[in-house]
Chain A
Amino acid sequence: MNKNKQKTIFTAVVLAVLLAACVVLDMILPSYHIAITVIKKATVYSLVAVSMNLLNGFTGLFSLGQAGFMLLGAYTYAVLTIPMAKKPGVYQYFDGGAIPFSVPEVFSGVLGETVGTLLGMLFCLLLGGLLAALVAYLIGLPVLRLKSDYLAIATLGFAEILRAFFQWNALGPITNGSNLLKSYPVFSKATPYVVLVGLMIAVILLLITSTYGRAFRAIRDDEVAAEAMGINLAKHKRMAFIISSFFAGIGGGMMAMYMETVAAAPFKSALTYEILLIVVIGGIGSITGSVLASFLYIFFSEWLLRGLDSGTFLGITAPGIFKNGFRMAVFSIIIMVIVLFFRKGIMGDKELPDLIDKRSRKRKKEAAE
């Protein structure tokens, strides 16, 4: 039991330090600083990566529909939160849009400006998640009968169809066609992202360690045995799919906040592959891995390797080599190295508290020698 206590303390300390670091960064850096941007984007990616890990890593359903569910969340959030005053400008080709209210404003009317806006924003994120979950339920009815690669192809196709559908001009009064949705309220600081995503990942973690999470892992390990032991495959697969999509939808809503504009274009399959890459790098079946990999991925691609595209990297100025696209070349090599040397991802299927185990084992070994 002592070890468990140690693990809990270790985890709590690490998380507290990270949160404190984030709060401090928020105070000393302006909100347009690249560090804040990296934190915001990485937290959003973490949430989506964890939701994908829940499905691909813990339940063993290889689904590639994440971008589609994010799109649903992003659009729901943006459409419902654009202030009335800004609507004529945003929906300039569609007579100010078809939705005659803005949820944060409705909430403000009852609860006052600050609290109302905040609750309205959170409520719309939740609605985005619920819409994604509802769509996941409907899509899941036919699609979850498929296995492995076929499921991946079907969900990928669904996401692409959804993207095209949202650009359809006839839906313009709601989705603004292929034009941008913008001017909706966003969190400009990084701390709200970290807190929100932290809470949601905690919920996913609780789910995974519950009896249902164990059933999901049983399905991943051996479907036939799981069914023979009384686990209803259809029900549990649907459940995992819906829950994963719910969090992907919320992640999409937060992605909308981070980007400050929403269009269907960024939610293409490349986004799903990015998330999949993060999941694989972090370790399939490790929540900590997904979060860690998100931060590393965003940190490298958005910040550290930026110079490779713009002429100067680590003090070396070489405009001839370091131009647009070189960053992705270097990045690909890094990923290949990671895949070669960390076959199971950075974390394998270990979590944050397990790190302490490894260290103590090493210490024991050293003591023995």
Chain B
Amino acid sequence: MSKNVLKVENATMQFGGVVAVNNLNMEINEGEIVALIGPNGAGKTTAFNVITGVYQPTNGAVWFNGEKIVENHPQGKMKKLYKGEHAGDYTNVLAPTPDKITALGMARTFQNIRLWKSQTVFNNVLIAKHCRTTSNVFSATFRLNKKEEAKQREEVLELLKIVGLDDVKDELATSLPYGKQRRLEIARALAAEPTLLLLDEPAAGMNPQETEELTAFIGELREKFHVTILLIEHHMNLVMDISDRIYVLDFGKLIAQGTPAEIQNNQRVIDAYLGVAEDA
């Protein structure tokens, strides 16, 4: 049996009266490509944000490579107040900031592209390597880290070659066409050396041909970088092509999970999201 990379346990994210994610349970094994789908507003991106530490869940826990990285239980907040004999039963609150989670080996892209606008393509990827530097601010300023810096630059160059952006490496990130910006975001996430890659709608706004290219590209990523991938996507062709398993969310609740074939024939999923072609 392959190793469990990500486990989401009873995650609930509540904003006032709105329950954006309701008691979500997911598991992703090493080397899998798993898709998270659902209608708009189903809570997919919120689930991402809970996993990557942007939000602290109102309840639940996230495990990454067998280690509990995020945890919150309603009674957890009472821990400091509650000092009685059962204090030990009350669990900890674990709420690391996104950068700490990235350091553990998780990297993400964004639904609306968030590249560093004033930087070149090369620098965008190089900056993502910053979280892997071992030099402190003095050794970096006085160039005592030349070896590390050179190694990082080499790695970035190689990465850009693999994703096919090496010919535009000195251009500003924002001057790239849309499809390449998406690709650059993925390259940037890969530069942080993740074991789990989270892609938030990587094909949003792409035309059919670009989407097809992207599908092949994501498939290659798994082989070349040995990453496990969790993606949110609305392009069903892409999802059905590359996913090993699919989770379907609707109004924050998990309504189905399974292989692409199972999902396509699941009546609840068809009602809630996929629908039926009129002339079928």
**Which residues of A pack against B, CB within 8 Å?**
203, 206-207, 210-212, 214-215, 217-218, 220-222, 224-234, 239, 243, 285, 349
Whether the pair A227, B116 counts as a contact (CB closer than 8 A) is: no
Interface-lining segment among B37-45, B64-72, B107-115, B222-230: B107-115
User: In the complex, what residues of B have CB within 8 A of residue A349's CB?
Assistant: 118
Size category of the B interface is: 35 or more
10 shortest interchain CB distances as A-B pairs: A230-B131, A230-B102, A221-B116, A225-B114, A210-B140, A207-B141, A229-B128, A227-B98, A218-B127, A232-B99
Q: Is B143 an interface residue (CB 8 A)?
A: yes
Question: Which residue on chain A has the smallest CB distance to residue B198?
Answer: A228
Q: Which of A217, A228, A243 has the most CB of B within 10 A?
A: A228
| A232 to B136 CA separation, bound complex (whole angstroms) | 13
Whether the pair A217, B119 counts as a contact (CB closer than 8 A) is: yes
Question: Which residue on chain B has the smallest CB distance to residue A349?
Answer: B118
Q: Is B155 an interface residue (CB 8 A)?
A: no
27 A-B pairs (CB sep. < 8 Å): A203-B141, A206-B141, A207-B141, A210-B140, A210-B143, A211-B126, A211-B130, A211-B149, A212-B130, A212-B141, A214-B126, A217-B119, A218-B130, A221-B117, A225-B114, A227-B99, A228-B98, A229-B99, A229-B130, A229-B189, A230-B102, A230-B130, A230-B131, A230-B132, A230-B192, A232-B97, A239-B137
User: In the complex, what residues of B have CB within 8 A of residue A234's CB?
Assistant: 97
| A239 to B141 CA separation, bound complex (whole angstroms) | 13
| A113 to B231 CA separation, bound complex (whole angstroms) | 71
Whether the pair B130, A215 counts as a contact (CB closer than 8 A) is: yes
User: In the complex, what residues of B have CB within 8 A of residue A221's CB?
Assistant: 116-119
User: In the complex, what residues of A have CB within 8 A of residue B135's CB?
Assistant: 211
User: In the complex, what residues of B have CB within 8 A of residue A239's CB?
Assistant: 137
User: In the complex, what residues of B have CB within 8 A of residue A232's CB?
Assistant: 97, 99-100
User: In the complex, what residues of B have CB within 8 A of residue A206's CB?
Assistant: 141-143
A85 smallest CB distance to B (angstroms): 39
Question: Which residue on chain B has the smallest CB distance to residue A243?
Answer: B137
Whether the pair A225, B116 counts as a contact (CB closer than 8 A) is: yes
User: In the complex, what residues of A have CB within 8 A of residue B99's CB?
Assistant: 227-233
Whether the pair A222, B127 counts as a contact (CB closer than 8 A) is: no
Whether the pair A212, B119 counts as a contact (CB closer than 8 A) is: no
B269 smallest CB distance to A (angstroms): 30
User: In the complex, what residues of B have CB within 8 A of residue A212's CB?
Assistant: 130, 137, 140-141
Q: Add 5 more A-B contacts to A211-B127, A234-B97 (CB < 8 A).
A: A211-B129, A214-B127, A225-B110, A229-B131, A231-B130
| A203 to B142 CA separation, bound complex (whole angstroms) | 8
Would A228 and B137 be within 8 Å (CB), given that A215-B130, A218-B116 are in contact? Answer: no
